[in-house]
Amino acid sequence: MASAIMPAGIRVRQLLERDLGAADRIFRLAFGTFLGVPDPLRFFGDSDYIRTRWRAQPDTAFAAEYAGELAGSNFISRWGSVAFFGPLTVKPELWDRGIGKQLLEPVIDHFRQWGVVHGGLFTFAHSPKHIHLYQKFGFWPRFLTAIMSKPVAENGGPRQAEYYSALGENERAGAMAACRELTDSIFEGLDVAPEIASVASQKLGETVLLYGNSRLAGFAVCHCGPGTEAGSGECYIKFGAVRPGSKASVRLGELLGACEALAAERGLKRLEAGVNLARTGAFQVLAGQGFRTELQGVAMKRPNEPGYDRPGAYVIDDWR
Ligand SMILES: CC(C)(COP(=O)(O)OP(=O)(O)OC[C@H]1O[C@@H](n2cnc3c(N)ncnc32)[C@H](O)[C@@H]1OP(=O)(O)O)[C@@H](O)C(=O)NCCC(=O)NCCS
């Protein structure tokens, strides 16, 4: 991306490796300050979003610079025909000067360029500022998204799944294609291959593959432990989906069981998963397996359409 000098001395450019320390600091400080925690810089503990997202898709990570220093950053995750952005953060002392808006410009440019069919973000439902800012760019609030978790049972249940990390190169290509075919059957063009590849290459966790009748029935991309989006003691299901149809709710239950088995194998104590509440079937499976909501935000969409947030879509993700 070519850098551009914006009004009021703000320059938006690509985020570079050398920016990552400052970007991580601003990320923690901004969220910690907004939420009023006593020691904002310790917010998010030992979990990592900034470095892992940058390594996953560095070309679509953006920096705002002000007076020669990093002022904020933003990231786009592209999942085929679907894309979302975040975390978007700006240094607290520079809030309300238009930097957040400048960091949204490249998002809109890329969504247009890629022909994104279903775009969005996850944000604080209680914040008029957040809803206002994103509405300016054509994103509209729809259903709430619940971030849920449950304690991991000690034995974690039977392991019924295969692990992507255990596959050889050819088998990995086949598994990736099967995952793509499965998500495409839920929403045309949805493709989370970058997440599967990022977890494998950065060793962030595991992609759990569930088979039935000798074809892929479901899969889940999991982050495990410190230095990932999960953090110490946690296994976080960043994306999970099962094949649509009459057996979908049973399959999702099995997939969650396989994720819990993974968490137990790794000695992790909590399993976390997010779901949009418009996916009523998926939410009910999570609730039925003992997941409880820890916090909820709202999904904002551009265009203002459901995408795969519908009752028959047995998908787990939260776009944080
Ligand atoms: C959210 C955040 C990135 C916004 O960055 P920013 O640089 O302050 O945003 P901008 O100055 O570009 O835009 C803020 C807009 O909200 C408006 N605003 C501010 N307070 C508001 C309120 N209480 N109600 C409604 N609108 C409000 C401003 O007027 C401005 O809109 P305008 O252009 O129409 O005047 C920044 O506040 C931040 O880092 N927050 C903490 C982390 C976070 O919440 N990230 C986003 C998670 S989804």
| CATH of region 148-316 | 3.40.630.30
Reduced to 3 states (helix: H, G, I; strand: E, B; else coil), residue 116 is coil
pLDDT at 204: 98
26 close to 100: Cβ distance less than 8 angstroms? no
Q: DSSP characters for 234-257? A: EEEEEEEEE--STTHHHHHHHHHH
Give the pLDDT score at 154: 80
* Phi, psi angles (nearest 5°) of residue 171: -65, -35
67: DSSP letter: T
- Ligand 1 pocket, residues with Cβ under 6 angstroms: 30-31, 34, 86, 88-90, 95-101, 123, 128-130, 132-133
Report the pLDDT value the prediction gives residue 139, as an integer from 0 to 100. 98
Residue to mutate (ligand 1; options 129, 136, 296, 318; most atoms within 8 A of CB): 129
Q: What pairing do the DSSP bridges indicate for beta strands 140-151 and 89-90?
A: unpaired
pLDDT tens by residue, the chain, 320 residues: 545 445 568 999 999 999 999 999 999 999 999 999 999 999 999 999 999 999 999 999 999 999 999 999 999 999 999 999 999 999 999 999 999 999 999 999 999 999 999 999 999 999 999 999 999 999 999 999 999 999 999 876 666 799 999 999 999 999 999 999 999 999 999 999 999 999 999 999 999 999 998 899 999 999 999 999 999 999 999 999 999 999 999 999 999 999 999 999 999 999 999 999 999 999 999 999 999 999 999 999 999 999 999 999 999 999 99
Structure token digits, residue 163: 């692990």
CA gap 230, 223 in Å, rounded: 6
Q: How far is the CA of 129 from the centre of ligand 1 (A)?
A: 5
Q: CATH 3.40.630.30 residue ranges in the chain?
A: 4-116, 148-316
CA distance 71 to 82: 28
Q: Ligand 1 centroid to 95 CA: how many Å?
A: 7
Fold of 4-116: Aminopeptidase (3.40.630)
Query: Whole-model pTM above 0.85?
Result: yes
The residue type at 75: F
Specify the pLDDT at position 28.
98
> Given ligand 1 and candidates 31, 37, 93, 96, which is best to mutate, with the most ligand atoms within 8 Å of its CB?
96
Burial class (CB in 10 A: 0-12, 13-18, 19+), 225: buried
Instruction: Specify whether the CB–CB gap between 228 and 205 falls below 8 A.
Output: yes
Cβ neighbours, 10 Å, residue 127: 13
